[in-house]
């Protein structure tokens, strides 16, 4: 969320609230003998509105990762409460029913999730730092300070230009005016992802034209041409420049940690994604890289980003896409609507023509699916991607379908309950209880909204589709099915209407 055009007013408002807010925080911490402030639906909005800078952890009491974070978070809160510029750390039980509205507003999809809220909550950013106390403190002290560092000497420049990171520097004749203010807004908006600096003298910078006339923005990067200049100071244009320029022409994905931030940026990009997976130790690596770079340059700026992944580091991707090592080298393109396109056992000279065929609409989508079971006689029937249409949508039955993950503890707890539900309907030919492994099969994203496991959907015999959000009990599920099921007469009536 960006700063509004009234950001100066918001800063003034926040500074006023800053003092009273920290007094309130200190009092609350003193009373509870805890430094992490506990917030809920009754005080969240008012408390956040008083803070210039606050970090909020959204947690669930049953979450193991939350329990592991808790002592580190508390220790960090204790240290930060005594800093020269104190930082408030807070927490919200997002599993509590009355707090779920807050969790929904901040798009909490997993636990723990930490959010940085600035200027009374008008600016919301993801916390992207470490999860140990020392790391939390270091990260937040940097995030709570000035968004941009003034570069006054070559030594200042060398201290912030990192060979492994992105640095964005604004060069100005003076630190005032609309262009400088827009650069400051840019720095505030993107500070969680990039480092920013500003200077009056372009000659202090280690790369680029030392005689370039400002104002300008110079982005330093550890790949491709190592720097890029930009002189348009509209905030949205600046954001687009930084986001696009900070993605390599080809993102490398292996076990070298210096590449990992750029891999994350690659997957967060709004572009369609081309991914070439191969053994980086193969004799053909240079040939693949050369041909792939040619294609990446050809489509640069055309809504398609490129990644090369080493098979040693890419096992998670292999599982996600349902590909086997014997298909390597393999190139995959995934579009924003979730469609996947695959070319297994690709040769270097085939890459350009295959990508062109994709862009021309001449490649058929690939669907990940487990094999259709030869025997499917358990009470809860197994559905796979290749049988989803026949078993669910074309079956003419009332179908309760569970989307699950094999590793999910909640799914394992639900399994015996679904078995009992299925047993209750075993003599009812119009009802089917089924499950699909959502990690091993592609799910139609425009039909099913599966954000966590287990997710239950009910498709009536007349085609109505509704997500189940009731109690995960035998009685609750059976009552829901009976309430929403369609009868044979209703099916016939629907057919006559059509």
Indicate the SS3 state at residue 307. Answer: strand
Q: Which two tokens stand for residue 477?
A: 């599920």
DSSP lists the bridge partners of residue 45 as none
Residue 173 designated active-site: no
Contact yes or no for 90/121 (Cβ under 8 A): no
CB pairs under 8 A, 24+ apart, for 228-235? 233/178, 233/179, 233/182, 233/183, 234/182, 235/2, 235/182, 235/185, 235/186, 235/189
Q: Which two tokens stand for residue 61?
A: 């009491």
Characterize the bridge pairing of strands 37-39 and 88-93: parallel
Q: Spot the catalytic one: 411, 418, 433, 434.
A: 411
Contact yes or no for 411/380 (Cβ under 8 A): no
The C-alpha angle 41, 47, 52, rounded to 5 degrees, equals: 135
Secondary element (H or E) of residue 423: helix 409-424
Q: Spot the catalytic one: 66, 272, 333, 456.
A: 66
Residue 66 designated active-site: yes
SS3 content of the chain, % helix, strand, coil (to 5): 40, 20, 40
Q: Spot the catalytic one: 2, 26, 49, 63.
A: 63
User: Who's near 81: CB < 8 A, 6+ residues apart?
Assistant: 25, 26, 29, 35, 87, 88
Closest C-alpha among 193, 194, 224 to residue 207: 224
Q: Spot the catalytic one: 408, 415, 417, 465.
A: 408
Closest C-alpha among 268, 201, 186, 188 to residue 232: 186
Tell whether omega for the bond before 112 is within 30 degrees of 0, i.e. cis.
yes
Residue 399 designated active-site: no
Residue 493 designated active-site: no
Helices (H), 198-284: 235-245, 260-268
Give the active site residues. Answer: 63, 66, 408, 411
């Amino acid at each position: 969320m960006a700063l509004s055009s009234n950001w100066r007013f918001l800063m003034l408002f926040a500074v006023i609230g800053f003092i009273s807010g920290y007094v309130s925080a200190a009092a609350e911490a003193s009373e509870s003998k805890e430094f992490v402030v506990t917030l809920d639906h009754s005080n969240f909005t008012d408390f956040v509105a008083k803070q210039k800078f606050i970090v909020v952890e959204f947690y669930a009491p049953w979450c193991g990762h939350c329990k592991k974070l808790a002592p580190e978070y508390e220790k960090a809160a204790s240290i930060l409460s005594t800093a020269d510029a104190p930082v408030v750390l807070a927490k919200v039980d997002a599993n509590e029913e009355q707090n779920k509205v807050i969790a929904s507003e901040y798009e909490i999809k997993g636990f723990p999730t930490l959010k940085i809220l600035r200027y009374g909550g008008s600016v919301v950013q993801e916390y992207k730092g470490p999860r140990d106390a020392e790391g939390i403190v270091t990260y937040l002290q940097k995030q709570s300070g000035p968004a941009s560092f003034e570069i006054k000497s070559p030594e200042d420049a060398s201290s912030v230009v990192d060979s492994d990171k992105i640095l964005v520097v604004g060069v100005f004749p003076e630190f005032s005016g609309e262009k400088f203010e827009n650069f400051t807004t840019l720095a505030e908006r993107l500070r969680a992802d990039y480092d920013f600096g500003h200077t009056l003298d372009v000659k202090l910078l280690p790369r680029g034209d030392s005689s370039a006339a400002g104002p300008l923005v110079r982005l330093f990067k550890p790949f491709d041409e190592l720097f890029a200049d930009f002189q348009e100071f509209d905030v949205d244009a600046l954001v687009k420049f930084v986001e696009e320029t900070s993605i390599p022409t080809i993102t490398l994905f292996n076990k070298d940690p210096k590449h990992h931030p750029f891999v994350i940026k690659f997957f967060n990009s709004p572009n369609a994604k081309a991914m070439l997976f191969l053994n980086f130790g193969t004799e053909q690596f240079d040939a693949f890289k050369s041909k792939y770079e040619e294609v990446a340059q050809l489509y640069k700026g055309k809504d398609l980003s490129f990644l090369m992944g080493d098979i040693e580091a890419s096992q998670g991707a292999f599982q996600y896409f349902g590909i086997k090592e014997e298909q390597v080298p393999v190139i995959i393109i995934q579009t924003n609507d979730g469609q996947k396109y695959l070319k297994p056992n690709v040769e270097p000279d085939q890459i350009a023509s295959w990508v062109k065929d994709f862009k021309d609409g001449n490649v058929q989508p690939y669907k990940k699916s487990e094999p259709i079971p030869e025997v499917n006689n358990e009470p809860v029937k197994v559905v796979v991607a290749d049988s989803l249409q026949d078993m669910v949508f074309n079956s003419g039955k009332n179908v309760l379908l569970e989307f699950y993950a094999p590793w999910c503890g909640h799914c394992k707890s639900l399994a015996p309950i679904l078995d009992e539900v299925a047993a209750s309907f075993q003599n009812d030919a119009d009802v089917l209880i089924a499950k699909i492994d959502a990690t091993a099969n592609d799910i139609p994203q425009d039909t099913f909204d599966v954000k966590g496991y287990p997710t239950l959907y009910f498709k009536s015999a007349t085609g109505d589709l509704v997500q189940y959000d009731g109690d995960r009990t035998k009685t609750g599920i059976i009552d829901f099915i009976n309430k929403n099921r369609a009868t044979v007469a209703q099916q016939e009536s629907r057919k006559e209407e059509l």
